[in-house]
Amino acid sequence: MPLIDLYLPADAVPSDRLPPLVDELTTVLLRAERAPDTEFFRGITWVYVHELPQGMVFTSGRPAPEPVFRVSVTVPQGALSERRKEELVTEATRAVREATGLGEDDSLRIWVMVNEVPDGNWGEAGNVIRFEQLRELATQAREQPAAPVSVP
């Protein structure tokens, strides 16, 4: 049930590159969590894209002269070890760089924040969801046999 909030200046990512970026950020997060990359887990990974009007992102108290980006990831506490957080930050930064055409030297313009929600503080459908419940769902998903591939 992770959430991603992607903040970026309007038109900083070409419209045809935004859906692939969102998809890649979802993949990066599921991989970092070691969650199965299934429709169920993709379906509970929500991404909110916040396009900010030109001139509404500031650095040093003035409109940013170049686009800056923030990827804010919210996960249940315990979902990511320190090593997995580093993986998430590295890969999310790479995904934004690739989608925007920024070079590695521009990585300082991309911030990735990891926010952890303490167990018992996440609710869905009127119920408190516990991290252990998600872990059990992931275990069950991994134990399911792969769907047969049909060849036309």
Report phi then psi at 118, rounded to 5: -60, 145
This prediction has a pTM of 0.84
Domains of the chain: 3-143 (3.30.429.10)
DSSP state of 105: G
Model confidence pLDDT, tens digit, residues 87-125: 999 999 999 999 999 999 999 999 999 999 998 888 888
